[in-house]
């Protein structure tokens, strides 16, 4: 079963994401994902 997750980002978050992608900063990428997706992933798995 496919589920979708929508992530709304502030300008500062988009800039941070671009920095992470440009620097290929794996540690910051993990922190970013935990901050912005953790609750959404849990919600999707629980049927939300």
pLDDT bracket for residue 48 (50, 70, 90): low
Q: Distances in Å between the alpha carbon of 10 and those of 14, 15, 34?
A: 6, 9, 16
In the chain, where the domains are located: 11-45
Q: Determine which of 3-7, 8-12, 32-36 has the lowest per-residue pLDDT on average.
A: 3-7
Average pLDDT over residues 16-24: 96
Other beta carbons within 10 Å of 13: 14
Is the entire prediction scored with pTM above 0.85? no
For 19-42, letters b (16+ CB in 10 Å) and e give: ebeeeeeeeeeeebeeebeeeeee
């Amino acid at each position: 079963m496919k589920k979708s997750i929508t992530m709304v980002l502030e300008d500062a978050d988009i800039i941070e994401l671009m920095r992470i992608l440009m620097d290929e900063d794996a540690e910051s990428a993990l922190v970013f994902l935990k901050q912005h997706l953790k609750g959404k992933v849990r919600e999707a798995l629980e049927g939300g």
